[in-house]
Amino acid sequence: MNAFTRVMVGITGHHIEPGTRPEDVGGLSKIGLSICFASLLAAIQFGIAGWYLTEGLDTDSRYIAAGVTAFIGSLIVLIIDRNFIYAADTRADLGGWLTYFYLAIRIFLIVSISSLSSQFILPLLLKSELAIHVQDIKDERYDSAKERYTNKYEVKDKLESEQGISSQITKLKTEIANIPPALVRQKS
């Protein structure tokens, strides 16, 4: 029997005797492989969460925190799955209660871990869409504030008044610049 099969069976909590045939432990090695896969996914999720939870720290500290949280996530899955599989195989006297208890623990872990890690993964995946929504919100907020300000301080009326006064000033300046010929003669 190869070392990989021994390790996969060992992950399930079972030990292989020297005379054991590979056919006898084939199912256990597949279960061990699925535990490793679940452990890898938990490590990735916890690592991403650890990275984003330490956002204010320097890069080295963030790498350490991500590594530690990934290791913790991996151990959670390895310990719980391994203990359940071993207990389910060796403690048949508990009947189905152990299966339901394990199922409840797994559902709780899946929901809590996935809800925690999705808070950090979804913004990463939806970054461009979120940027569009942020810009839309900024534009809408600017437009509503501008409208509120315009209505509150009667800006439109004041602008019209300012334009009217400005045109009168321009008219008066041109009149002053163009002195009527009668005044020019009187002045002379």
pLDDT tens by residue, 34-56: 888 888 988 888 888 888 888 88
pLDDT tier for residue 96 given thresholds of 50, 70 and 90: low
Residue 93 pLDDT: 61
- Same domain? 164 vs 120: no
Q: Does a structural domain hold residue 49?
A: yes
- Does residue 98 form part of some domain? yes
- CA dist., res. 28 & res. 33, Å (int): 9
According to the model, what pLDDT value does residue 91 have? 66
Please give the structure tokens belonging to residue 181. Answer: 């010929």
What is the value of pTM for the model shown?
0.56
Task: Assign 24 to helix, strand or coil.
Answer: helix
- Neighbouring C-beta atoms of residue 26, cutoff 10 Å: 13
Instruction: Place 1 in a pLDDT band, splitting at 50, 70 and 90.
Output: low
Is residue 16 a contact partner of residue 36, using CB atoms and an 8 Å limit? no
CB-CB neighbours of 84 under 10 Å: 20
Read off the pLDDT band of 65 (50, 70, 90): very high
Distance (Å) of CA 28 to CA 2, 4, 12, 82: 14, 12, 7, 11
3-state secondary structure of 91: coil
pLDDT at 67: 96
Q: 121 and 176: one domain?
A: no
Same structural domain, 17 and 92: yes
pLDDT surpassing 70 at residue 90: no
Task: Report whether pLDDT(8) > 90.
Answer: no
Query: Does any domain span residue 133?
Result: no
Give the pLDDT mean for 169-182: 84
Q: Domain check: are 17 and 68 in the same one?
A: yes
Query: Is 88 found in the same domain as 179?
Result: no
- The DSSP code for 94 is G
- Residue of higher predicted confidence among 128 and 60: 60
- State the total domains in the chain: 2
Residues 118 and 158 in one domain: no
Domain that holds residue 106: 3-125
Residue predicted with more confidence, 64 or 98: 64
33 and 117 together in one domain: yes
Q: What is the pLDDT of residues 121-155, one digit of tens each?
A: 777 777 888 888 888 888 888 888 888 887 888 87
